[in-house]
Structure 1
Amino acid sequence: MDEALLGIDIGTGGCKATLITLEGEIIFTASREYPTHYPEPGWAEQDPGDWLKALTEICRGMSDRVKRRIIGICIDGQPHTPVFLDERGEVLHPAIPWTDRRSSAQVEYLRRRLPEVDAKRTFNSLNTAFTLPQLLWVKEYKPEVWRRTYRLLIAKDYVRQRIIGEGWFTDPSDALGTYLFDGEAFEWSEGICAAAGIEVEKLPEVKPSSLIVGEVTREASKRFDLPEGVPVVNGAHDPSVENLAAGTVKPGDAFVKLATAGVISVTTREPTPDPKGRTVTYCLPTTKDGRADGWFTKTATFSCGSSYRWFRDLFCQREVEEAERYGKTAFQLMDMLAEEAPPCSEGLVFHPYLIGEGSPYWDPQLKGSFFGATLSHQRSHFCRSILEGVAFSIRDSTSIFQELNLKIREIRLIGGGSASRTWREILCNVLGLKGLRTLGGDSSFGSAILAGVGLSIYRSIEEGAARCVKIIDETHPDPELHVLYGELFKIYKELHDATASISHKLDELARSLPRRQDKRCVESGG
Structure 2
Amino acid sequence: MSFLGIDLGTGSLKLAIIDDEGREQCAASVAYTIDTPQPGWAEIDPEVWWRALREAASRLPQVQRSAVRAIGFSGQMHGVVLSDAQGNAVRPAMLWPDTRALPLLDAWSAPQPNPVAPGMAGPLLRWITLHEPQSMQAARWALQPKDWLRFKLGGEIATDPSDACATALADPAGVWDRALLERLALPLERFAPLAASYAASGSLSGDAARALGLRAGIMLATGAGDTPCAALGSGLANDGDALLTTGTGGQILVLATQEPNEAQGLHRYRAATDHWYRMAAMQNIGVALEAVRGWLSYEWSDAYCDAFASDPASGVTFLPYLTGERTPWLNPSARGGWLGLALGTSRGAMMRAAFEGVAFSLRAGLDAIRQSGAQVSALRLAGGGSVDARWRQLLADALDVELHAVDCPNSAARGAAMLGAIACGHWHASDLAALAPAATRVAGPQNNTALAARYARFIDLYGRVEGWFAPPSA
Tell me the TM-score range normalised by the shorter chain: over 0.9
What amino acid sits opposite 2:310 in the alignment?
Answer: A
1:458 pairs with 2:458: no
1:491 pairs with 2:457: yes
CA displacement, residues 51-96 of structure 1 (integer Å, 9 cap, x when unaligned): 1111111101112122122222111101111110122322111111
1:501 pairs with 2:456: no
On the 8 A contact 1:16/1:29 being kept in 2, the answer is yes
Residue pairs, 1:32-431, within 5 angstroms:
32-111=30-109, 119=112, 123-163=113-153, 165-183=154-172, 187-276=175-264, 278-286=265-273, 293-316=274-297, 319=299, 331-342=300-311, 344=312, 346-431=314-399
Deviates more, 1:38-47 or 1:186-195: 186-195
Question: Which residue is 1:4 aligned to?
Answer: 2
Taking the aligned partners of 1:470 and 1:332, their CA distance within structure 2 comes to 28
How many residue pairs were aligned? 473
Q: 1:345 Cα deviation (Å)?
A: 5.4
Q: 1:496 Cα deviation (Å)?
A: 0.4
Q: 1:10 Cα deviation (Å)?
A: 0.6
Q: 1:273 Cα deviation (Å)?
A: 4.2
Taking the aligned partners of 1:332 and 1:264, their CA distance within structure 2 comes to 26
CA displacement, residues 413-472 of structure 1 (integer Å, 9 cap, x when unaligned): 111112222221110011111000102253112112222222222221x62353241214
Taking the aligned partners of 1:345 and 1:268, their CA distance within structure 2 comes to 39
On the 8 A contact 2:242/2:376 being kept in 1, the answer is yes
> Higher helix proportion, which one?
1
What amino acid sits opposite 1:173 in the alignment?
Answer: S
1:446 pairs with 2:415: yes
Secondary structure, in 3 states, of the residue corresponding to 2:469? helix
Q: TM-score, normalised by structure 1?
A: 0.86
Secondary structure, in 3 states, of the residue corresponding to 1:187? coil
What amino acid sits opposite 2:357 in the alignment?
Answer: G
CA RMSD of aligned residues (A): 1.9
What amino acid sits opposite 2:121 in the alignment?
Answer: T
Secondary structure, in 3 states, of the residue corresponding to 2:39? coil
On the 8 A contact 2:406/2:440 being kept in 1, the answer is yes
Secondary structure, in 3 states, of the residue corresponding to 1:405? coil
Counterpart of 1:13 (choices 11, 14, 20) is 11
Question: Which residue is 1:476 aligned to?
Answer: 444
Secondary structure, in 3 states, of the residue corresponding to 2:108? helix
| Fraction of identical pairs, as percent | 26
What amino acid sits opposite 1:264 in the alignment?
Answer: I
What amino acid sits opposite 1:266 in the alignment?
Answer: V
Deviates more, 1:302-311 or 1:428-437: 302-311
Taking the aligned partners of 2:115 and 2:251, their CA distance within structure 1 comes to 17
Residues 31 and 166 from structure 1, CA distance in 2 versus in 1: closer, same or farther, beyond 3 angstroms?
Answer: closer
Taking the aligned partners of 1:173 and 1:136, their CA distance within structure 2 comes to 21
CA displacement, residues 200-235 of structure 1 (integer Å, 9 cap, x when unaligned): 111111111101222222100122333323222110
Q: 1:166 Cα deviation (Å)?
A: 4.2
What amino acid sits opposite 1:389 in the alignment?
Answer: G
Unaligned 5+ runs, structure 1: 287-292, 320-330, 513-526
Taking the aligned partners of 1:473 and 1:5, their CA distance within structure 2 comes to 29
CA displacement, residues 223-253 of structure 1 (integer Å, 9 cap, x when unaligned): 2333323222110011111111222221111
Secondary structure, in 3 states, of the residue corresponding to 2:82? strand
Taking the aligned partners of 1:458 and 1:225, their CA distance within structure 2 comes to 25
Unaligned 5+ runs, structure 2: none
What amino acid sits opposite 2:32 in the alignment?
Answer: Y
Question: Which residue is 1:322 aligned to?
Answer: none
Residues 16 and 213 from structure 1, CA distance in 2 versus in 1: closer, same or farther, beyond 3 angstroms?
Answer: same
On the 8 A contact 2:317/2:338 being kept in 1, the answer is yes
CA displacement, residues 454-496 of structure 1 (integer Å, 9 cap, x when unaligned): 2222221x623532412144311212x2x22110001101110
Taking the aligned partners of 1:448 and 1:334, their CA distance within structure 2 comes to 35
